[in-house]
Chain A
């Protein structure tokens, strides 16, 4: 029996590894889920006279995508967000996080903007309020202003289909 112990230990580990492949260690559950989205009022990129506040979105299901021009993986999901802005009705708000070099306006006019509004979080304070750990992160907020879901990392078509679509449907978007 003793000689089988190494194999048994290894197989137990394999079980955990197999399970681990389907988990995302970077995804930390947000304590805001089920709570009100933190309020803020920020100027909008490209138009300093207009401002955006989550209160403006009351009564709508919406998505807040935290991104930045300096964030490489945000560029990965940019194309998908562009397509989503065309193909589905839920507004996507793009929180421009810590854009110290002021590149967002130029980038969005060059590559097109998928965003309903782009609040400009230069100091990064709003990001802190939302518990942003890195870009990109995406929040789903319901009609009552409650955070319902958070996704860490770039969105792929599969992730949108499997994670976002059911949630948005459930919330009656």
Chain B
């Protein structure tokens, strides 16, 4: 009964989404206020019914209703409660429902926080978001119904993929989707601006906080995913350039470019066409990611069950949404007049330069991701593109981006003076270069990439400090600096921290694969690891061989680690559960390989020393907090009120 209720709620949500899409768009075109007024209640109603459907599915998972196919395939009676809840979005169908729900959430948020916007703008934005909802709801209902019954019901479920039974996975998908889907808001604002033909700077100001918040969520989602991969996959890696990772990383790069381009459009009225195109691109890449992951056109470790009908549906949807928006763009582009001029050396020019570099990096990731597909489609064979390509192409492209990141915030708008910048930055530059060259000398081995990484991290750090110092010298107090300034600085600082972390861990981590019998020990990075054997351990839905590895330094015992080799009851899938001792400056990471004798006394054991790895997630966290801070700046509310077009100013924020 409950699953049928959920199914019914989805159908109602689809009808409401259709209403939300069609009536307000017609109303906005004809200037009919009654039709436009439908947008808000329809959007909120659509969200309520999506939430109801989601609640029904979650309920079916919580009560182990194995007469629902989705539950039977992705859950298990012995699965701990928290994972039964997260299994709700662990499958293809469930994660699409989560997508719909989050889109509904964003739409509702726009409907609530848009009182100061002109009615026709609101109607268009919500209408466009409604169109996207229609597409996804129709996709769910026609090809991927999460409530399909299984008759006769299964006795027990087939269990959730053990890889997903980790608490990094509990919040990773919702955060990632908040980011992915959040770009729909920027997309809808851009489309609304194109439709109305009012391509002034106002829409840039309106969409800026939304874009920044979506970007912050996406950053958090990607960081959590990377953290999960590090902890759960047992190889100690944190980024694999897998198509699915790239699918989330490409919108992130486009979103980063968009945030910066929006700043220029808002402040200077320049780059309008470019900003619109980036807003379309960021969300298009989110959709493209969905297509790549769900259609099975690329092989990936994350691929969902593939079905050509689903692939064809999403591709058709992509053509409508992306193709349609690009046609609209081409049609309206001549109307976009660029605002204030600027010289080749100004903040605008530096931001444009950074944007170009980011897009080149984006292009390199896109090419690497799609290359196997392109070659296969041309009948030229099967190849795979791996980390060597991405590291060789992407990393050098980041060099100018990181350098410009330091200069941009300190340059003046419109026209900056080169000699002036040189005199302000010469010490920072000298210290960065010196750090880059000298720091690796104190570490294990002199590596060219380490020189570059340390120099860049120091450079960004110092320019952030200079940014604060110059503000304070001009009479500002720390408490009087705007949140958007704090946000920018914190995010940039996060980048410096992240780059430092990546540099150390990529160049100076050490690992060792050893065969260990009880009592054997091995040395790594000054630590001694002693293997104390394994014991049988019974988990809620798995059994495991749990190893004990004693870690000591200079003869003093520090702690014991307990890596596990698990076999999950329902699927029979083996899993390596690494044991990690995290610290600010280094992680000790131990994983069990395979038993090497019949009595399971001797094991292949993998030990890693991962210096500075946590700086990566800390840096990402800084960026996330920076994003939220910047988006919460008072200026958006006040500035919008003062400059919003006719009639809106009096309504208040």
Contacts and interface: CB of A to CB of B under 8 A. Distances in A.
Contact of B326 (A6, A20, A69): A6
Interface in B58-72: none
B572 A10 contact: no
Nearest to A68: B572
B277 interface: yes
Contacts of B284: 10
A101 interface: yes
Interface in B490-537: none
A74 to B, nearest CB: 11
Contact of B373 (A3, A25, A26): A25
B353 interface: no
A6 B291 CA distance: 19
B277 A6 contact: yes
Interface string A12-37: 01101111111111111100000000
Interface string B556-573: 000000000000000111
B302 interface: no
Contact of A16 (B318, B323, B377): B377
Given A3-B329, A6-B329, A25-B376, A20 B323 contact: no
Interface in B283-339: 284, 291, 295-299, 308, 311-312, 315, 318-319, 322-323, 326-327, 329-330, 333-334
A101 B567 CA distance: 11
Given A4-B330, A6-B326, A14 B318 contact: yes
Interface in A35-74: 69-70, 72
Contact of A19 (B308, B327, B377, B382): B377
B158 interface: yes
B372 interface: yes
Nearest to A12: B374
Contacts of B297: 17, 20-21, 23, 25
Given A10-B326, A11-B323, A16-B377, A3 B382 contact: no
A25 B298 contact: yes
Interface string B9-32: 000000000000000000000000
A16 B330 CA distance: 22
A16 B370 contact: yes
A29 B374 CA distance: 17
B309 to A, nearest CB: 10
Nearest to A14: B319
A69 B370 CA distance: 35
A79 to B, nearest CB: 15
A6 B190 CA distance: 15
Interface string B565-604: 0000001110000000000000000000000000000000
A23 B377 contact: yes
A21 B277 CA distance: 27
B299 A26 contact: yes
Label chain B's interface by main secondary structure.
helix
Contacts of A24: 296
Given A6-B326, A7-B326, A70-B572, A13 B377 contact: no
B394 to A, nearest CB: 20
Nearest to B570: A72
Nearest to B305: A73
A20 B322 CA distance: 18
A6 B273 CA distance: 12
B376 to A, nearest CB: 5
Interface size classification for chain B: 35 or more
Contacts of B329: 3, 6-7
A3 B327 CA distance: 9
Interface in A129-168: none
B571 A72 contact: yes
Nearest to B326: A7
Nearest to B295: A21
A44 to B, nearest CB: 23
Contacts of A11: 323
A70 to B, nearest CB: 4
B376 A17 contact: no
A119 to B, nearest CB: 21
A18 B312 CA distance: 8
A17 B287 CA distance: 13
A101 B571 CA distance: 13
Nearest to A13: B370
B572 A25 contact: no
A1 to B, nearest CB: 10
- Residue with the greatest number of chain B CB neighbours at <10 A, chosen from A11, A16, A21: A21
Contacts of A19: 377
A61 to B, nearest CB: 27
A23 B312 CA distance: 13
Contacts of B299: 25-26
Contacts of B373: 16-17, 20, 23, 25
Contacts of A14: 315, 318-319, 323
Nearest to A25: B299
Nearest to A19: B377
A28 B298 CA distance: 13
A5 to B, nearest CB: 9
Nearest to A16: B377
Interface in B157-178: 158
15 contacts: A3-B330, A13-B370, A14-B318, A14-B323, A16-B373, A17-B295, A21-B311, A21-B315, A23-B376, A24-B296, A25-B298, A25-B299, A25-B373, A70-B573, A72-B571
Given A29-B382, A70-B573, 6 more contacts: A6-B280, A10-B322, A20-B297, A21-B296, A21-B297, A25-B373
The 4 A-B residue pairs whose C-beta atoms are closest, nearest first, are A20-B297, A3-B333, A25-B299, A7-B326
Interface of B: 158, 273, 277, 280-281, 284, 291, 295-299, 308, 311-312, 315, 318-319, 322-323, 326-327, 329-330, 333-334, 370, 372-374, 376-377, 382, 571-573
